[in-house]
Amino acid sequence: MENVRELFQIMTRRFGLLNKNCCTVGAIDVSPAQSHILYEVDRQHNPSMQQIADTLGTDITTFSRQVQSLVKLKLLNKAPDSTDRRVYLLSLTTEGKFVATTIDQQMSAYLDEIFSHMSGFEKEMVINSIKLLNKAMLQSDNCCQPVKG
């Protein structure tokens, strides 16, 4: 029988998710976690810090450190909500938008190149299988939690 865990380990390595930096845009090195934050802030348009932390399944303390690093890189703005000063809203700076868009283009090109080695049917089958797996993972009691043991 196929070692399913090994398949996921290999795929994780090939996507570079274990790398310190996943992307370089100009002189800026971006970690996988930072890339995910930029992507979600861009996608959700001025979300709160808690919204993005929840989306990524990250604790707020770890997430806050990543946000601070992106603010220092001038990729992210963090501002208090005008209606509730306890809540901080996130937005991309002009440079942050450029970096997020560039990373998105790099990832799209990478995925296009990967899928170019498959037939249209195989590509569709893989995408549908990933959707099915994501749906099943969401239904699991262990979704988005560290493995216990």
Tokens of 113: 């190149």
135 is a domain residue: no
Rounded to two decimals, the pTM is: 0.84
122 is a domain residue: no
Query: How far apart are alpha carbons 149 and 147 in whole angstroms?
Result: 7
CATH number at residue 52: 1.10.10.10
For the chain, the domain total comes to: 1
Structural domain containing residue 76: 18-109
101 is a domain residue: yes
The sign of the torsion formed by the CA atoms of 105, 21, 52, 87 equals negative
12 is a domain residue: no
Q: Could you tell me the maximum CA-CA distance found in the chain, to the nearest angstrom?
A: 57
> pLDDT by residue for the chain (149 residues), tens digit each?
689 889 888 888 887 765 666 778 888 989 888 999 999 999 998 999 999 999 998 888 989 999 999 999 999 999 999 999 999 999 999 999 999 999 999 889 989 999 999 999 999 999 999 999 989 988 888 766 655 54
How large is the angle between the packed helices 60-72 and 32-44, nearest 10 degrees? 90
